[in-house]
Chains A and B, each alone.
Chain A
Amino acid sequence: MANDQAVAELESFLAERADQLMRTAVLLTGSREAGQDLLQTGLERLLRHWPGLTGDPEAYLRRTLYNLAADGYRRRSRLQRKLLLLRAGTPPPADTLACVDLRDALVRLLVQLPPRQRAVLVLRYWEQLTEAETAAVLGWPEGTVKSAASRGLRRLRGLADSWHQAELHETGLRGPGR
């Protein structure tokens, strides 16, 4: 019975916030299906603590989502590694860069990053939190957040650079050295 009451309260909370939370979960996992799984798991945990929960339930749920996503590294990495090895050494299709927008490509690379780096980048550039706020949400030292963000951004910048090179090449332009 207490469970039913908690479910009803949770329903009204989700009526306003569910879509935004779902978007965050999708970014953290890289797909709608996995995002839904993540959100469902987070909600189950929220429900477990609902009766004694003090403070903002959304903050609790967000923290849970980010920590679940960051801790899921080993489990997901096995599947990822298995899938990667099926095509190890196969070059990407030649038109990969040309056919998608750089913004889409950045997000595609984002979901390939290790979960901890991805969680930090989503908090920093999706939720627009500062490094200190990000560290507080994840319960990590600020230095860890900084290094994870730095590693993740380095990979993204590498992609952006190669993108610009490809664009220059396509339009027949060359750099100043030519």
Chain B
Amino acid sequence: MSTDVEELLHEGMERFTTGVHAPAGLAATAGRLRRRRRTTRAVMACGTAAATAAAVVVALAATGGTAAPAGGSTAQAHTVAYVVSRVKNALATENLVYHGITTGTDGPSATWAYGQRWRWEEFTGAGCRNVTSTGECTHRGGSVRYLATGTAQVGGKLTGAYVTYYNREYSLSPITAPLPTSACSRTARLEMGGPVATPGDHWSDFINATLACGAARVTGHVWINGTATIQITGKPITVRLPPGEARAVREKWTRVGWTLYVDPATYLPVRITGTGTTFGGPAASTFGSMVTNVQWLKPTAANKAKALVRIPPGFHRVSSAANQ
């Protein structure tokens, strides 16, 4: 039987990828992305607001001006310049602890981040809101801690940690970057529309690169808690769901979008929203959304400690998160 399965799997892989061709211009695109990233980095290092603004406007033009609404290119360029002019402030004031509380159609979650440290904790919502990879409910009813992921101090070293509370397991791994450096790829934009946007420690880099590649645009100002925040809206994307996920939700497509609300004084987000809709299959279309309200805390020892995952005593260590 095992040989049969292995042979069938190989044949299945052949069939699954029959007719798959690489799109033209892959190398040129890679070169363009690399050049753009280098330019952005160089300008950021220079640290002058005017130069940064110019670089972003140039980059927007190079991407076909996708961020500029019809008939409003000059105004859009000015707005981008205004936003980017805050980068310098942001770089100087980023020594804060990020704390976000996310609510939405998923269970609530909380995030802390400071420098390389970060911790994301998810709680179950009402009913069977969280499932294992095999589709079984981990909990029913009530809001209990479901998982924590992020970084932990182990033997005096910072390391990646992944804790699942429902089966009392944890795993350790090398540190991975918690946030893509920009929302330029489809994967990154999908993540931004997902249930959580795990913060990195360089929001200004992220926003700058995202505006530069045309994956988002400045769409206005919104009052939040007495502050006229800058609204930055990601370009919504529609993608075909991977087969496994499509089968799980009995839909073919998902459309996701996200919006950041940024404090103009610090260039740091105070609110993040994301939406996701699935459609195109036999099941009724589903809609999910999340809102993360962000606080920036002083980097006291107590607040910094919150940005670390703690392994509860008695939990069993497994080799990797993939096995949890």
Per-position 1/0 for B284-324, Cβ under 8 A of A: 00101000000000000000000000000000000111110
- Contact size range, A: 35 or more
Q: Which of B105-142 contact A (CB under 8 A)?
A: 106, 128-131, 133, 135, 137
The interface centre, meaning the residue of B244, B250, B278 with most chain A CB atoms within 10 A of its CB, is B244
Given A43-B26, A103-B11, A87:B249 Cβ within 8 A: yes
Kindly specify which of B43-51, B86-94, B235-243 makes contact with the partner chain: B235-243
Given A75-B187, A153-B6, A30:B31 Cβ within 8 A: no
Cβ contact of B34, chosen from A32, A48, A80, A85, cutoff 8 A = A48
Cβ contact within 8 Å between A106 and B5: yes
Main secondary structure of the interface of A (DSSP, over half): helix
Cβ contact within 8 Å between A74 and B241: no
Cβ contact within 8 Å between A151 and B185: no
Nearest-CB residue, chain B, relative to A116 = B322
Nearest-CB residue, chain B, relative to A4 = B31
Cβ contact of A117, chosen from B4, B35, B322, cutoff 8 A = B322
Chain A residues, Cβ within 8 Å of B247: 92, 96, 108, 112
Chain A residues, Cβ within 8 Å of B250: 87, 90, 93
- Contact size range, B: 35 or more
Chain B residues, Cβ within 8 Å of A32: 20, 240
Cβ contact within 8 Å between A144 and B31: no
Q: Which of A20-46 contact B (CB under 8 A)?
A: 21-23, 26-27, 29-37, 39-41, 43-44, 46
B78 at the interface (CB under 8 A from A): no
Cβ contact within 8 Å between B137 and A44: no
Cβ contact within 8 Å between A7 and B28: yes
Cβ contact within 8 Å between A82 and B241: no
Cβ contact of B322, chosen from A21, A73, A103, cutoff 8 A = A73
Cβ contact within 8 Å between A14 and B34: no
B74 at the interface (CB under 8 A from A): no
B263 at the interface (CB under 8 A from A): no
Q: Bound complex: CA of A83 vs CA of B11, how far in Å?
A: 28
A157 at the interface (CB under 8 A from B): yes
B30 at the interface (CB under 8 A from A): yes
Chain B residues, Cβ within 8 Å of A40: 26, 29-30, 33, 185
Smallest distance from the beta carbon of B29 to chain A beta carbons, Å?
Answer: 6
A178 at the interface (CB under 8 A from B): no
The interface centre, meaning the residue of B15, B186, B322 with most chain A CB atoms within 10 A of its CB, is B322
**19 more CB-based (< 8 A) A-B contacts, given A30-B245, A83-B249, A85-B106:** A3-B35, A19-B20, A22-B22, A41-B185, A43-B29, A47-B34, A80-B133, A82-B106, A82-B194, A84-B245, A87-B248, A87-B250, A90-B283, A107-B15, A110-B12, A111-B242, A112-B133, A144-B320, A160-B5
11 A-B contacts (beta carbon < 8 Å) = A10-B31, A11-B28, A18-B22, A22-B20, A78-B196, A83-B249, A84-B135, A93-B250, A107-B12, A107-B13, A108-B244
